[in-house]
Amino acid sequence: PIAALLVGDPSVSGEKEVAYATYIILKCIARRPLQDEVLCQLCNQTWLNPNDLNAERGWLLMSLCLSCFSPSEQLYPYLLCYITSHGFEGYRAMCQHKLLRFHGRQSRCYPPSLLEFTASSQQKVMTVEVLLPDGTSQRVLVDSATTAAELGNMVARCAGVPRPSGWTVTGACKGGAGAHDSKDVVSKVFESEANVLDWVSQLEVPAMAQKLCARTDATTPGVATAATDIDSGSGIAGGGSGGAADA
């Protein structure tokens, strides 16, 4: 299985590791039955694994998978118990949080963004800085399950709005997918339940596909990319009264 290859092959690292993880998660998103299968493979690969490096890679992939989809109702309690009892160092709390946050939600449409990959590999949290209409800004925590409504309401709460509800966000990116040149700004007004980081992932897909042609063999599944693919002009804008946020 490709999950076993990613966990056990030390030569799969750097951009290739991102490529393989992206490929696995894209397949899982497209085919629901694969989600439980891959999660079970990762439990098998990490169970009493004597190699800490391989175990950590398995837990990283587990974290990335749980950033995009939740297990079936049948598998959910067993996976939660396994993570709680056997989670690897900082990945225990991270995977618990993602599992609880995504429970009962629809799978995402895109694999994790490079921001999420970096945060998971370093076991860090993610924040966005939101620029408000009056020129001030608020930095708020986000995770892989954060919706536009959740982000908008968090920003409104930080800004002192009593009982905030009904807020959303707008995304803006210079030179993103759909732009005619690097100076054009592509914007998107999110529906309240839209996943915010899915849009970031969507913007990265064209760049990753270009590198796939240049850097991966025709017989090698996956999508290659690097952290430098993230356009510094991309951002998320706070809705309701307006505003902007840069990840």
Residue pLDDT, tens place only, 89-106: 899 999 999 999 999 999
Give residues with Cβ within 8 angstroms of 42, minimum separation 6: 3, 7, 58, 59, 61, 62, 65
Give the integer Cα–Cα distance in Å for 108 and 65. Answer: 10
Q: Tell me the pLDDT band of 132, cut-offs 50, 70 and 90.
A: confident
Q: Tell me the pLDDT band of 182, cut-offs 50, 70 and 90.
A: low
Q: Where are the beta strands (DSSP E) in the chain?
A: 126-131, 137-142, 169-174, 185-189, 235-238, 244-246
In terms of DSSP bridges, do strands 126-131 and 244-246 run parallel, antiparallel, or are they unpaired?
Answer: antiparallel
Give the integer Cα–Cα distance in Å for 122 and 23. Answer: 21
Give residues with Cβ within 8 angstroms of 202, minimum separation 6: 109, 110, 177
Distance of alpha carbon 156 from the chain centroid: 24
* pLDDT higher than threshold 60 for residue 14: yes
User: DSSP label at 123?
Assistant: T
Cα pseudo-dihedral 191, 192, 194, 200, rounded to 10: 80
More confident residue, 246 or 107: 107
Backbone φ and ψ for 134, nearest 5 degrees, come out as -85, 5
Give the three-class secondary structure for 129: strand
* pLDDT higher than threshold 60 for residue 36: yes
Give the integer Cα–Cα distance in Å for 81 and 85. Answer: 6
Mean pLDDT of the chain: 78
In terms of DSSP bridges, do strands 169-174 and 244-246 run parallel, antiparallel, or are they unpaired?
Answer: unpaired
Q: Tell me the pLDDT band of 185, cut-offs 50, 70 and 90.
A: low
Residue 29: both structure tokens together: 């998103």
pLDDT at residue 137, rounded to an integer = 78
Distance of alpha carbon 178 from the chain centroid: 22
Whether the CB-CB separation of 99 and 63 falls below 8 Å is answered with: no
- In this predicted structure, which of 8-22, 78-92, 151-165, 182-196 has the lowest mean pLDDT? 182-196
Give residues with Cβ within 8 angstroms of 152, minimum separation 6: 164, 167, 168, 169, 238, 239, 240
Any bridge partners for residue 187, and if so which? 172
pLDDT at residue 207, rounded to an integer = 54
Distance of alpha carbon 32 from the chain centroid: 18
pLDDT at residue 82, rounded to an integer = 97
Tens-digit pLDDT profile for residues 186-237: 677 788 888 989 988 888 875 554 444 344 333 333 322 223 232 323 344 4
Listed residue (93, 4, 95) closest to 51, CA to CA: 4
pLDDT, average across residues 115-124? 93
Residue with tokens 């694969």: 34
* pLDDT higher than threshold 90 for residue 145: yes
pLDDT, average across residues 178-184? 56
